[in-house]
Homo-oligomer: A and B are copies of this chain.
Amino acid sequence: MIDLLICYDVKTETEGGRRRLRRVAKICVAHGQRVQNSVFEVSVTDVQLLQMREKLLNAMDVTEDSIRLYRLRQPREKFVEAHGVDKYLDFNEPLIL
């Protein structure tokens, strides 16, 4: 699996921008989770990456928005550090309720 960080930059002052963010979020969340309002951590296969990239390019406005995909290092927990409000849930760990 390829671990990716996806950062989506879109102006949310307009209804169009908010709609595109919802679309992008839906595409990303299918393969991972939303860690910030417009930042996502996903795990995909090569084929899923091709499909996801195509969907993202269709959902965004390439003349207005910016999307950046970063391949993450493993093990994840060693290379990520979070401060403040943290939305990340580790689905590989047992969930304690």
CA–CA, A61 and B38, complex, Å: 18
Task: Tell me the minimal C-beta distance from A59 to chain B in angstroms.
Answer: 11
CA–CA, A11 and B71, complex, Å: 27
Is B35's CB under 8 angstroms from A68's CB?
Answer: yes
Q: Which residue of B lies closest to A65 (CB)?
A: B84
Interface size class of A (residues with CB under 8 A): 20 to 34
Task: Tell me the minimal C-beta distance from A32 to chain B in angstroms.
Answer: 14
A57 within 8 A of B: yes
Is B70's CB under 8 angstroms from A5's CB?
Answer: yes
Please indicate the chain B residues that have their CB under 8 angstroms from the CB of A84 in the complex: 9, 60-67
15 CB < 8 A contacts A-B: A5-B5, A7-B7, A7-B39, A35-B68, A36-B66, A36-B68, A63-B85, A64-B85, A66-B83, A66-B85, A66-B86, A67-B83, A68-B80, A71-B73, A73-B73
